[in-house]
């Protein structure tokens, strides 16, 4: 699945910033602003995630897995921008690589 380098999104858009493996925070955001599957707004609202999904937090694997599953389920409405923590050298330094190895 490949996306264009520049996204052309129309308002309204729900925008979510750095999650850094804070799966609980992601779930709280969905509680507050609606989970894509249950909010009933996917026909007119896009969900934009601004990268830095992993590292630092204790649940990076759960966080990135949920976001990727949402992208697969709703490819036209869920947009994932890669942050610097999605680069191999950075997540090797800040913990995501180790989390993946330990949980294999």
The full set of domains in the chain, from first to last, is 13-102 (3.60.21.10)
> In sequence order, which residues have a C-beta less than 8 Å from that of residue 79 and are 6 or more positions away?
3, 7, 9, 46, 47, 48, 49, 71
CA-closest candidate to residue 30, choices 69, 85, 83, 56:
69
- The pLDDT assigned to 96 comes to 84
pTM of the model: 0.85
Q: Is the pLDDT of residue 2 over 80?
A: no
**pLDDT tens readout for residues 7-60:** 899 888 999 999 999 999 999 988 888 777 665 666 678 899 998 898 888 899
List residues with catalytic annotation: 85
Q: Is the pLDDT of residue 68 over 90?
A: yes
């Amino acid at each position: 699945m490949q996306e264009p380098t520049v996204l052309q999104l129309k308002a309204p858009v729900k925008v979510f910033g750095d999650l850094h493996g804070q799966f609980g925070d992601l779930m709280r955001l969905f509680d507050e602003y609606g989970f894509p599957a249950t909010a009933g707004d996917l026909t007119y609202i896009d969900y934009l995630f601004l990268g830095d999904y992993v590292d630092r937090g204790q649940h990076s694997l759960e966080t990135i897995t949920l976001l990727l599953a949402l992208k697969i389920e709703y490819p036209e409405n869920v947009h994932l921008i890669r942050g610097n923590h999605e680069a191999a050298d950075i997540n090797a330094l800040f913990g995501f690589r180790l989390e993946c190895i330990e949980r294999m």
